[in-house]
Amino acid sequence: MFNLLVASNNQHKIKEYQEMFSGYQVKIFSPKELGINVNPDENGETYEENSLIKARALAEFSKMPIIADDSGLNVVALNNFPGIHSSRFADSCGGNKYANPKLIEKLQGFSDKSAFFTCVITLLNVEEKPLVFKGICPGKILDKPEGEGGFGYDPIFYSDEAKQCFGSAPEEIKNKYSHRAKAMAQLIEYLKSKKLI
């Protein structure tokens, strides 16, 4: 069994990881389960930097293999806003219930609604240096939220590859095409190549 500490207490994210690792001998732990309470200042300028900040903060408390991810929604017409500030933008609006309509409003007057999700996963405590895996999911912003599924910006994001909104897509579809799924696929290939899983 490969034990893996995930740098998140977000239950949606933990569940996604568990689903993506299903079929492999992997046991996932959250910091909360191990009694670790750390909330680093994500002040990096890239997804890679923020992901590494989160992973290193946990590495102060555990020698277990750690994965941390940083992800966000990049809206092309808005100069890739909210990007690495996706979480903070949602929080500043009072949650995605309010952030999503605000983002749609910001896009009014733009014909280009294209956007892409980015996810960078950093793996620590396996090799001497951090390992980085990156996934990108292309799509566009819808004119109104759709579906009851997913979380975050999913209800306003239409995936070009899945050919549907992530808010109404079944979990298995989202877990095939999402930015996190793509980064995860690379991580899983690496762990398999090292015979860790």
Residue 44 pLDDT > 80: yes
**Residue 174 binned pLDDT confidence (cut-offs 50, 70, 90):** confident
Q: Which tokens is 140 given?
A: 């566009």
Residue 149 pLDDT > 80: no
Catalytic residue among 69, 70, 143, 154: 70
**Residue 30 binned pLDDT confidence (cut-offs 50, 70, 90):** very high
Q: What is the pLDDT of residue 24?
A: 93
Residue 150 pLDDT > 80: no
Whose CA is closest to 177, among 10, 16, 48?
A: 16
Q: What is the pLDDT of residue 105?
A: 96
What residues contact residue 63 under an 8 Å CB cut-off, 6+ apart? 125
- Please indicate whether residue 70 is annotated as part of the active site: yes
Give the global pTM: 0.89
Residue 59 pLDDT > 90: yes
Residue 25 pLDDT > 80: yes
**Residue 177 binned pLDDT confidence (cut-offs 50, 70, 90):** very high
Q: What does the alpha-carbon distance between residue 50 and residue 40 come to, in Å, rounded to a whole number?
A: 9
- Any bridge partners for residue 34, and if so which? none
Q: What does the alpha-carbon distance between residue 97 and residue 76 come to, in Å, rounded to a whole number?
A: 22
Q: What does the alpha-carbon distance between residue 93 and residue 159 come to, in Å, rounded to a whole number?
A: 24
